[in-house]
Amino acid sequence: MGLELYLDLLSQPCRAVYIFAKKNRIPFELRPVDLLKGQHLSDAFAQVNPLKKVPALKDGDFTLAESVAILLYLTHKYKVPDHWYPQDVQACALVDEYLAWQHTTLRRSCLRALWHKVMFPIFLGEPVSPEILAATLAELDVTVQLLEDNFLQNKAFLTGPHISLADLVAITELMHPVGAGCQVFEGRPKLAARHQRVEAAVGEDLFQEAHEVILKAKDSPPADPTIKQKLMPLVLAMIQ
């Protein structure tokens, strides 16, 4: 059995892995895992990833969790252009810097914006107070500004003149609040221009394909009560 990727494109890390594999023509078998139906909590999926999270990778008898680890595994195993994860020590370190920073900052803020603005009230049927929503969106605004000021600055891409894993991870993160109806690029011409450059670099069709699900998040049907009971504590822990 060849490379298998267990993904749900509702998930930001899954979108990053999907785009990277498709863009670099890495052959893989897509194994869909529907998060909103709780398929990641099944015993069958736990055989692939005991952490019960996506994305997950299976390559023969080898399994791997965590999106950054998966992206790096694909980078090392397959012959991909150097700009994704440069061999130059300092250029590589800049990519690593962003990948280390984003976990508890931009990723968290974008995830909270999606859930507080859309998924809690629409999918879970749980109201979010105006005060909590306002605080979440204010936090998102601060974090996006940090992204622009500390990482993008006046460069074409986050770490230099060429697209890297950092840009791919960042843009898929930012599409979470976009899917919730947040205007994250408004009033940020440099960030908006980088968004266009990233989309052009990966290909408009692939970019739209990968983000079709998240851009329809507001149309999610209400959760089944049994699924809601299983998901609620996990979601609350995830967005803390």
Question: Could you give the CA distance from residue 150 to residue 98 in angstroms, rounded to a whole number?
Answer: 10
CATH class of 3-83: alpha beta
CATH architecture label of 84-239: Up-down Bundle (1.20)
- DSSP letter for 65, please: E
Task: Count the residues in the chain.
Answer: 240
Contacts of 106 (CB under 8 A, 6+ apart): 143, 144, 146, 147, 170, 173, 174
Question: Could you give the CA distance from residue 54 to residue 11 in angstroms, rounded to a whole number?
Answer: 8
Q: Dihedrals φ, ψ of 25, to 5°?
A: 55, 40
Per-position pLDDT tens, the chain of length 240: 799 999 999 999 999 999 999 999 999 999 999 999 999 999 999 999 999 999 999 999 999 999 999 999 999 999 899 999 999 999 999 999 999 999 999 999 999 999 999 999 999 999 999 999 999 999 999 999 999 999 999 999 999 999 999 999 999 999 999 999 999 999 999 999 999 999 999 999 999 999 999 999 999 999 999 999 999 999 988 887
Calculate the alpha carbon distances from 31 to 5, 57, 202, 208 in Å.
Answer: 6, 10, 22, 20
| Strand 29-32 relative to strand 62-65, pairing | unpaired
- DSSP letter for 48, please: T
The 10 Å Cβ neighbour count of residue 239 is: 16
Cite the residue boundaries of each domain of the chain with CATH code 1.20.1050.10: 84-239
Cite the residue boundaries of each domain of the chain with CATH code 3.40.30.10: 3-83
Buried b (16+ CB within 10 A) or exposed e, 11-20: bbbbbbbbbb
Model pTM? 0.96
DSSP H stretches of helix in 26-121: 43-46, 67-77, 89-102, 106-114
